Chains A and B, each alone.
Chain A
Amino acid sequence: MKNRWLNLVLSLTNRIYAVKQRMIERTGAGGVIDILGLIILEIVLAVVSLPLYVGLRAGRVTAFLEEKGGYGKIAFDYNLRRLLTLTGVGIFLFIWLVKLSLIIVTPSVAGPMRLYDVSGLRPLSAAVNEAVVGAGMQTAKLSLALPSPVIEGVKKTTAGNYDFSGTGRPFSSVIFFLSDQRTMIYTADVGADGRWSVEHNQKNYHLSEGNHSIIAFTYDKNAGQRSLVSAEQFFKVQPSTFEQLVKNIDTLANWSVTVIIALGLVLTFLTV
């Protein structure tokens, strides 16, 4: 393992040399690409060679010194750079450890964080529905004989939208309420098979992450009647993998650096 690692260090220094040589002859965009490549290689080398700085004490290098008549320590001429490197690593380690501690400790101290505050709730009323279902809704009478629709499920479509579906009385209308920071109201026609569906387009209104409630009732425009509200259902909006990655990038960075430093320390112990 040690030989592989040292050969990797050699290989990286060779690549850096090769890129530097190439840069001398290149101009324009090619030169810029080489500069970026060089920066990346230098960073990789800095990480891979970290144990060389952490584990190798300059004072351990000895030689037979004629004037002293014996073996003595020979100081490397890069003590200052070594000091700076170790100081830099130490500062980064300290910062990341503090951040990690806060991430780990804060939830247990402050309790679970609220996803969002819900305020200004108001009961659903005919007035709210007017824009969608027309003025007739206001005068619709509650009919116990009219069955409430059943919300059966929700599916996330490939386009990222939400498709709600359920059953109801054939040829009636279903008024569907979806809660977020504001309440969205949809109407759907129940087919002959007694099924209905509603699609919420995320482009029109992006549902926030977290739990949402949905309810519906049946509305018979011709009879001027409406049913009781269906049982309230809930569903959870979860971010995509990419959205989660972006959201948690800071946490991921913390853990990545911690793992890298831990790896460096392990390598140090293996090579000292």
Chain B
Amino acid sequence: MIKEGKPILLVVEDDEVLLRALYLVFHDSQYTIATASDGATALSMAERLNPDLVLLDLLLPKMNGFDFLRAFKANPKLSATPVIVLSNLSDNENKDKAKALGAADYFIKSNTDLSSLADKVGKILKH
């Protein structure tokens, strides 16, 4: 049963299997999950849905994660929405770049436990 007022979580991931896995991680929680598998669709959905949090991959087709982040934060309607990056890019340069563009947190996929990611999302949304 969907209840209005539940936080909307937009998951942007181009790996279909991982997108489904992330959906399963969060669908038991008190969130409404929306998904997109490329940057351009994600931006369009974000403008339409005004999500409460975005979980973003960086290597995306059509519009990469950095461009998405730039456009997302440039939109006054969305700029306050926290964006958590979940990426394979593990170097500090990309990490710093994402944070400079406004990412609230940065998770490297190979070092990430999905439970801790869910905890982080919960903490951010409580604030």
Contact = CB atoms under 8 A, between A and B. Distances in A.
A3 B38 CA distance: 26
B24 A2 contact: yes
A14 B21 contact: no
B121 to A, nearest CB: 14
Given A7-B113, A7-B114, A65 B24 contact: no
Contacts of A17: 88, 109
Nearest to B109: A14
Nearest to B10: A63
Nearest to B47: A66
A62 interface: yes
B25 to A, nearest CB: 6
Given A63-B49, A66-B48, A9 B17 contact: yes
B18 A64 contact: no
B53 to A, nearest CB: 13
Interface string A240-272: 000000000000000000000000000000010
Interface string A69-84: 0110010111001000
Interface residues of A, number: 32
Interface residues of B, number: 31
Interface in A53-73: 53, 56, 60-67, 70-71
Contacts of B20: 49, 52-53, 56
B11 to A, nearest CB: 9
B100 interface: no
A82 to B, nearest CB: 8
A238 to B, nearest CB: 45
B2 A49 contact: no
Contacts of B21: 6, 9-10, 49, 52
A45 B17 contact: yes
B34 interface: yes
B119 to A, nearest CB: 11
Interface in A36-53: 45, 49, 52-53
24 contacts: A6-B25, A7-B114, A9-B17, A10-B109, A10-B112, A10-B114, A13-B17, A17-B88, A49-B20, A52-B17, A52-B21, A56-B20, A56-B23, A56-B24, A61-B23, A61-B35, A64-B32, A65-B48, A66-B50, A74-B34, A74-B35, A76-B19, A77-B37, A271-B24
> 7 tightest A-B contacts by CB?
A63-B34, A52-B20, A71-B2, A14-B110, A9-B21, A49-B17, A6-B21
Interface of B: 2, 4, 8, 15-21, 23-25, 27, 32-35, 37, 41, 45, 48-50, 88, 109-110, 112-115
Given A9-B18, A62-B33, 11 more contacts: A3-B25, A3-B114, A9-B17, A10-B114, A49-B20, A52-B20, A53-B20, A56-B23, A56-B24, A62-B2, A64-B8
